Amino acid sequence: MAAFAADSDLLPPSGTPHRLRLSGEWTAAHAGALEDLVDKTGKTLAGRNVTLDLNEVTRVDTVGAHLLDRLRQDIMDSGGATSIEGARPEQSILIAAISKDERIEFRPPAPRLNALVGLVADVGRGMHSAWTDVTSWVSFLGSVVASAGRVIVKPRNFRLTSFVHHLELVGLRAVPIIVLIAFLVGCIIAQQSIFQLRYFGATIFAADLISVLAVRELGVLLAAIMVAGRSGSAFTAEIGSMKMREEIDAIRVMALDEVEVLILPRMLALIVGLTLLAFLSTMACLAGGALVSLIYGGISLDVFISRVDYMMTMDNFLVGMIKAPFMALVIGLIATIEGMNVEGSAESLGIRTTASVVKSIFMVIVMDGIFAMFFTAIDM
């Protein structure tokens, strides 16, 4: 298509004025070809005295006007001069509005760092942010404890409605899914352990294995991971979007404490909710184990219960349950801190919510390990 042309062949010697006849549509639709043409012509006519004749130009839009401007700048920068002739009134207005005294500098994107340097820099940034994470967790924990202290002194400031609401969301609503998952995991553990123990004729000990595992580790761990994914992410998203819309700022300027209003009820709901869920999840895990032991291992319910009764000492039970409130505290801390760190963009909300879930699940497992070492050390 010959929608445009700039004919300037048979160049006379430099010094004489040139007339550059432009024609066709100077619009965004032909931007690629026009840009090539402009750059080529700009080089050819560098340093000359050029009159741009727009008589045959049918349409100009901002892209065309800008490219005309670029052509003029190219010629003038190389010591030439330009003038425009034959532009229709609306074209001259547009060209005048687009053309600028200063050239727009095109900065190509900054070259990437050397891959190795980049890697080291990334690792450094990662370590630094891990450290700031830890310090911010500690300082935030401090402000939560301080606010809890204020509420204990003045219990009327406690947001009971909010606490109950969140307890329902965190605890009650999570019961079906957590019970189901724990039940299924109990079934799987039972099936696998019966299958392995059968070689030694020790099928009956599957019941011991399941009860210790469920009571000490699996019940609380499954509940905590599920709550971190379900409620931790929700808290981050809620608090994050409140931060984005300045609702947190509104709470602050009304002489309210955002920790007391928003975070304390959520945190307490998590602590109470997760402890109850951990218990339910343990029971569901045992029930799943009992069912598979009965069907697959031929261990009657009486026998299973008597083994569980023998193995599930108070020590074992406490070791499991005592972890739940600590895990809830960590999940709540991470979720609210990540929420508070959300900035203006939708992207940052997504990043923070992801970080909240990943970090809290990671910390739940790390804490489980620390507790395991601690309880071994005190012979529990």
Partner 1 sequence: MSTNGTYVDRGAPPAHRDAIIRVRDLAAGFGDRLIIDGLDLDVWRGEILGVVGASGTGKSVLTRAIIGLVPKKRGTVEVFGVDLGEASLKQTLAVERRWGVLFQHGALFSSLTVKQNIQVPLREHANFSPRLMDEIAMVKLDLVGLKPAAADLYPSELSGGMIKRAALARALALDPELIFLDEPTSGLDPIGAQDFDELILTLRRTLGLTVFMVTHDLDSLAQACDRIAALGDKKVLAEGPISDMRRASHPWLKAYFNGPRARAAAAEI
* Among 100, 154, 173, 198, interactor with partner 1 by CB under 8 A: 100
Q: What string of DSSP letters covers 162-215?
A: HHHHHHHHHTGGGHHHHHHHHHHHHHHHHHHHHHHHGGGT-TTHHHHHHHHIII
List the interface residues with partner 1, window 44-73 (CB under 8 A): 61-63, 66-67, 70
Nearer Cβ to partner 1, position 8 or 348? 348
Asked if 352 touches partner 1 (CB under 8 A), the answer is no
Asked if 76 touches partner 1 (CB under 8 A), the answer is no
Nearer Cβ to partner 1, position 28 or 370? 28
Alpha carbons 283 and 295: distance in angstroms, whole number: 18
Alpha carbons 186 and 313: distance in angstroms, whole number: 19
First to last CA, the chain: 86
Asked if 130 touches partner 1 (CB under 8 A), the answer is no
* Among 90, 112, 115, 161, interactor with partner 1 by CB under 8 A: 90
Nearer Cβ to partner 1, position 104 or 130? 104
Return the closest-CA partner of residue 208 out of 135, 279, 307: 307
* Among 199, 347, 369, 373, interactor with partner 1 by CB under 8 A: 347
Nearer Cβ to partner 1, position 293 or 341? 341
Asked if 239 touches partner 1 (CB under 8 A), the answer is no
Asked if 98 touches partner 1 (CB under 8 A), the answer is yes
Asked if 166 touches partner 1 (CB under 8 A), the answer is no
**CA-CA-CA-CA torsion for 168, 170, 175, 177, nearest 10 degrees?**
140
Query: How far apart are CB 62 and partner 1 at their closest, in Å?
Result: 5
Asked if 111 touches partner 1 (CB under 8 A), the answer is no
Contact map string, positions 264 to 303, toward partner 1, x by CB under 8 A: ----------------------------------------
CB atoms within 10 A of CB 209: 20
Nearer Cβ to partner 1, position 299 or 342? 342
Asked if 315 touches partner 1 (CB under 8 A), the answer is no
Asked if 104 touches partner 1 (CB under 8 A), the answer is yes
Token code pair at residue 338: 């990540």
Sheet with 4-7: strands ordered across: 4-7, 17-26, 49-60, 81-85
Alpha carbons 321 and 380: distance in angstroms, whole number: 13
Asked if 250 touches partner 1 (CB under 8 A), the answer is no
Q: How many residues bind partner 1 (CB under 8 A)?
A: 28
Return the closest-CA partner of residue 267 out of 138, 137, 167, 172: 167
Contact map string, positions 11 to 30, toward partner 1, x by CB under 8 A: ----------------xxx-
Helix orientation angle between 233-244 and 314-340, rounded to the nearest 10 degrees: 20
* Among 8, 21, 23, 31, interactor with partner 1 by CB under 8 A: 31
Buried-state track 316-341, b at ≥16 Cβ within 10 A, e below 16: beebbbebbebbbbbbbbbbbbbbbb
Asked if 246 touches partner 1 (CB under 8 A), the answer is no
Query: How far apart are CB 133 and partner 1 at their closest, in Å?
Result: 23
Query: How far apart are CB 115 and partner 1 at their closest, in Å?
Result: 23
Buried-state track 221-243, b at ≥16 Cβ within 10 A, e below 16: bbbbbbbbbbbbbbbbbbbbebb
Alpha carbons 223 and 214: distance in angstroms, whole number: 11
Nearer Cβ to partner 1, position 31 or 365? 31
